[in-house]
Every structure is written in C-alpha cells, then in structure tokens.
Amino acid sequence: MAKKITIYDLAQKLNISPATVSRSLNDHPAISQKTKDKVLSVARETGYRTNKFAANLSKQRSKTIGVIVPKLNSIFMSTVLSGIEKIANNFGYNLVISQSLESQEKEKLNAKTLFDSGIDALLVSLAYETENYDHFTTYTDRKIPLLFFDRLCDLPNCPTISIDNEAAGYDATRHLIEKGCKNIVHITGSLRRNVYTDRLEGYKRALYKNKLPVRPENIIESDLNIYKVQEFVAYIKASKHKVDGIFVSNDTFAVNCIKELKKEGFRIPEDIKIIGFNNDPVSEVISPNLSTIEYPGYKMGILAGQSIISHLNGSINIQSADQIIIKHKLIARESTQI
C-alpha cells in the first residue's frame, strides 16, 4: 500500500516512455488524446502521485509562497493571512508562514530559511525592530517577487499594499477635533514603521490645519503592549494640559485604555474621547463602543495574494500594480460622541 509509484512504473506498464507519461500528465499538446487517456487512467488506478521534489528540481519552482509576519496571533494579521491563504489555495499555491515576533534577527533568519526552501515569492509585513533591509536583497537580486503589505519598506521595485495611513491618521484626528477636542494625545507604535509615522503625520496635519498646537509631550511612542496601559493612563492624568482626546494606533490598546480610564473615574466620551485603529472586533464589545478606522484586512490579504500571483504569472494588470492603496473608513461610535 505504501509503495511509491513513479512515471517509470507507469511507462513500463503502458510500454511507452517516461517522457510520454510526463507529457501526458501535464496535458502537453504533442501527445494524442488516446495516449493521454490511457496514461491518466492507469495513473488513477495505480494511485500515482507526482513527486513534487523531482518536479520542483527540474522546474526550479515550488508553487509555494512564503509569508513573514510580525505575529500570527492578532485578529488583524490572521485575517490578512486568511485572505492570502484563500487566494494561494485557489491558484494551487502552498503558503509557508513564519513570524518574526517583531525581531529583526528572526526576520532575517526567516527570510533566509524561506529563500533556501525555494519559495517562488515572498510576502512581508515588517517587524517593529527592522531597520536594515539587506536580508531582502537575496530576493531582489534573483528577481524573486517580493511584496510588502501593511508594514512597508521602501525598497525599489517592491510592490506594496496598504491603506493611506496619513489620511487615516488625519481623519481620526479631525474627527476628534470636530467633536470638540482641543488637546489630543496620540499614542503610536514604533516610528520605524511607515504605518505609524504616516498616521502621526496625519495627526499633525489635522492639528495644524485646525490651528491646534502640536505638543511633543502628546506624542507617545510605545510598543502598544497592553501592560503599558496603566503607565499611559497615569501619564494622561498627570498631564499639565488637560487631555480631552486620545488617538490610539491600535484598537486593542485603545480598548484597554477605555477600561483603565473608566476605572480611574473618567467618563468616556464626556471627559475624554477616544478613537482607535483597525476596527478589531473588540471595538464593538467595549462599552462605550470604540470609534475607529476600518482597516480591511481580509481584502488586503486577497489583494496581496492576487498581486503576487499575477507577478509570478508575469501578467500585467491592476493586480500587479506597484502600489495598491486600499480605502479606509472612519467608523464613529460611542467613544467619541455623546
């Protein structure tokens, strides 16, 4: 039962050459339908399975796409992955997923391992830490399609998929301003990452535009780990200028801020209005419901998958554009309006 059967076995059974068997199985035009049918039927009977190792070796491609993400276990990231997987699966690609755990070293290692394992293309969302991009030159040098999503990198010739984070940051901040906030704190992730710097730029622009001061002490860079929430809230309480709005670059952190602020006696949104980012499911669970920016992760995954596959196929179309910007949307809920 556990016998592995090869094209040579099939060839022998059918008294034809292995070449013909191979071509038949791949539906090569130079083979007659009659022969193909015979081969196919015997292949089915015998339970033949093509040996991917051999096929990969001679074709020099693996029908496998690699992915490096910071962390698997966030609802946003797993939603993106879910989209990527769907497309990959549809097109017969396997997906090798690895996580950098926000570490540059691990990202490097993963990039190397994936390269060695012979992936046809690589999708990356950068780690917090990453400052140096040399580990990707292996790919660019050998023309292996490389695409960044969400946390981008400005390598030349690398397509990217993201939302317009600057505009989103602007929208979020403007929303707070429109609701009457005068002194808005922004808590952001690592400013090494475009997603956060861009949102910060948007935040600043909204303040400028509304003639509000940009106070350095109101911009807080953090790893957004929720155990930092208490510290952050203490900081808010101690602030010289009374804080009346918070723009958090991440729903999970925002939700925990709400919890902590409520515990400290703040009324949301009366005393402080809060807006998050991502439209994570928790944003609708917290009371008051969290206003946020919708970040369509699934769609991003789908597009990333489609994009990389059309690059692989060499087809030129919208999907193979160099920069795809997905629309975001402000979702106003209770945490910013009475």
Residues that bind DNA (CB under 7 A): 4, 6-8, 15-20, 22-23, 25-26, 30-32, 34-35, 48-51, 53-55, 57-60
Measuring CA to CA, which residue among 71, 98, 70, 67 is closest to residue 83? 67
Please give the torsion angle defined by the CA atoms of residues 101, 107, 111 and 116, in that order, rounded to the nearest 10 degrees: -70
| 243 dihedral zone (left: phi>0; alpha: psi -120 to 50; beta) | beta
CA distance 108 to 101: 12
Phi, psi of 148 (to 5 degrees): -105, 140
For residues 49 and 327, which CB has a smaller minimum distance to DNA in the complex? 49
Q: Return the residue of 22, 62, 250, 319 that touches its own copies, per CB under 8 A.
A: 62
| 213 dihedral zone (left: phi>0; alpha: psi -120 to 50; beta) | beta
Q: How far is the CB of 134 from DNA (least distance, A)?
A: 22
For residues 22 and 306, which CB has a smaller minimum distance to DNA in the complex? 22
Contact range with its own copies by CB under 8 A, out of 5-13, 56-64, 171-179, 320-328: 56-64
Is the bond into 288 cis (omega within 30 degrees of 0)? yes
Helices (H), 210-250: 229-238
For residues 285 and 338, which CB has a smaller minimum distance to its own copies in the complex? 285
Using rule CB under 8 A, residue 12 touches its own copies: no
Question: Using CB distances below 5 to 8 A depending on partner kind, what does residue 299 bind out of DNA, its own copies, none?
Answer: none
**What is the layout of strands, in order, in the sheet containing 245-248?**
219-221, 184-188, 245-248, 273-275
For residues 25 and 326, which CB has a smaller minimum distance to DNA in the complex? 25
For residues 8 and 208, which CB has a smaller minimum distance to DNA in the complex? 8
Contact of 120 with 65, CB cutoff 8 Å: yes
Using rule CB under 8 A, residue 53 touches its own copies: yes
Using rule CB under 8 A, residue 336 touches its own copies: no
CA distance 165 to 68: 21
Measured between alpha carbons, how far is residue 314 from residues 28, 302, 308 in Å?
A: 21, 18, 10
For residues 55 and 75, which CB has a smaller minimum distance to DNA in the complex? 55
Question: Using CB distances below 5 to 8 A depending on partner kind, what does residue 91 bind out of DNA, its own copies, none?
Answer: none
Binding mask 129-168 for its own copies (x = CB under 8 A): ------------xxx-------------------------
Binding mask 249-268 for its own copies (x = CB under 8 A): ---x--x---x---------
Question: Using CB distances below 5 to 8 A depending on partner kind, what does residue 116 bind out of its own copies, DNA, none?
Answer: its own copies
Kindly state the DSSP code that residue 92 receives in the 8-state scheme: T
CA distance 311 to 145: 7
For residues 59 and 209, which CB has a smaller minimum distance to its own copies in the complex? 59
CB atoms within 10 A of CB 217: 10
Contact of 302 with 87, CB cutoff 8 Å: yes
For residues 20 and 278, which CB has a smaller minimum distance to DNA in the complex? 20
Binding site for its own copies (CB under 8 A): 1-2, 49-54, 56-57, 60, 62-64, 71-75, 77-79, 81-82, 85-86, 89, 92, 94-99, 101, 106, 110, 113-118, 141-143, 252, 255, 259, 281-282, 285-287, 298
